[in-house]
Amino acid sequence: MSNQKYGKILLLGRPNVGKSTFINNLIGQKVAITSPKPQTTRFPIKALYEEPRGKIIFVDTPGIFGKTEDNLSKKINEQTIKILNEEVDLVIYMIDHTRRRDFEEARVLGFVRKIDKPKILVINKIDSEEKSYLPQYSFLEDEFPYVFKISGLNRTHLKPLIDKIFEILPDNRDEDIPKDLVYPVLNIDSKIFISELIREKIFLMMGEEIPYRTTVIVDEIAERKNGITYIKARILTTDNRYKKMIIGSGGRKIKEIGSYARKEIALAINKKVYLDLTVETDPHWQETYY
């Protein structure tokens, strides 16, 4: 049997450069939650891409934050730095040319430069109609041996990027490739995956500050005799006024969040789902759960 390629790729970039969308569209299943607000990904997500040429594990890091005022961001940054030092074969540094370069971007680049591995610069959102700040990034094209302009959202130019990745990754004999790789999600158990899907709906449907004051805890997943998957989950938020806003007048908002989340969970697990979703105030959830 011919040798296959196998390796781990670290994805680095500022929050919201489109790393999660890139992974989801490449793999064809939802493994990372996406929303237009930073701090969406709260822990590293490992996703497996598999094809005849071999297997790639993508490690999607929580976007590295510029300022870390709160405990949660500090912990996320610590996790990211830990991953940086894990064994990886290749680094993809992703930038969004529709945003100006700033100190946060400089910080991420500083991280990227510290890793002594082959690197690919990926300029994302090339089909965006928004104003481009590409000239601010042009100096990077001299620093990186490989540069790709892609759209993770529309899957534009993903093939040449994947071809280059397979070219760079080491050959492995079949016996060297871990046998317990599960497609497509490696390190997220179903409770975390479901809580992330619910949290994504809060991100998409609530105002600016609420998502950063909330988390979702899944307490129970049970298969009922009638073939329905029963899921009990709680949205925790830091203050009663946020709780009121999440519930909404006459319970309308929480019903809406629950309905969207239930449909997507049902689609992901291919089963009928009953979602029992409640909201609680817990000012200390950051210390308790992260």
Percent of the chain with pLDDT strictly greater than 70: 74
Q: What is the pLDDT of residue 58?
A: 83
Q: What is the pLDDT of residue 232?
A: 93
Numbered ranges of CATH 3.40.50.300 in the chain: 4-176
What is the pLDDT averaged over residues 24-50? Answer: 63
What is the pLDDT averaged over residues 265-274? Answer: 78
Numbered ranges of CATH 3.30.300.20 in the chain: 190-289
Topology at the third CATH level for domain 190-289: GMP Synthetase; Chain A, domain 3 (3.30.300)
pLDDT per position as a tens digit, 113-141: 877 789 999 999 999 889 999 999 999 99
Q: What is the pLDDT of residue 189?
A: 53
Which residue did the predictor score with more confidence, 288 or 119?
Answer: 119
Angle at 80 between CA 76 and CA 83, to 5 degrees: 140
Q: Distance of CA 189 to CAs 77, 195, 200, 231, 244, Å?
A: 22, 10, 17, 14, 30
Radius of gyration of the chain (CA): 20
Topology at the third CATH level for domain 4-176: Rossmann fold (3.40.50)
Cβ neighbours of 134 (radius 10 Å): 13
Is a pLDDT exceeding 70 seen at residue 1? no
pLDDT per position as a tens digit, 197-231: 788 788 778 766 676 788 888 898 888 888 888 99
Sheet strands (E) in the chain:
4-12, 45-51, 54-60, 90-96, 119-124, 146-149, 171-172, 214-223, 228-237, 272-281
Confidence of residue 23 (pLDDT cuts 50, 70, 90): confident
pLDDT per position as a tens digit, 136-147: 999 999 999 999
Q: What is the β-pairing status of strands 54-60 and 45-51?
A: antiparallel
Q: What is the pLDDT of residue 121?
A: 96
Which of 59-63, 104-108, 182-186 is predicted least confidently?
Answer: 182-186
pLDDT per position as a tens digit, 148-206: 999 988 888 899 999 999 999 877 755 555 555 544 444 445 677 788 778 878 877 87
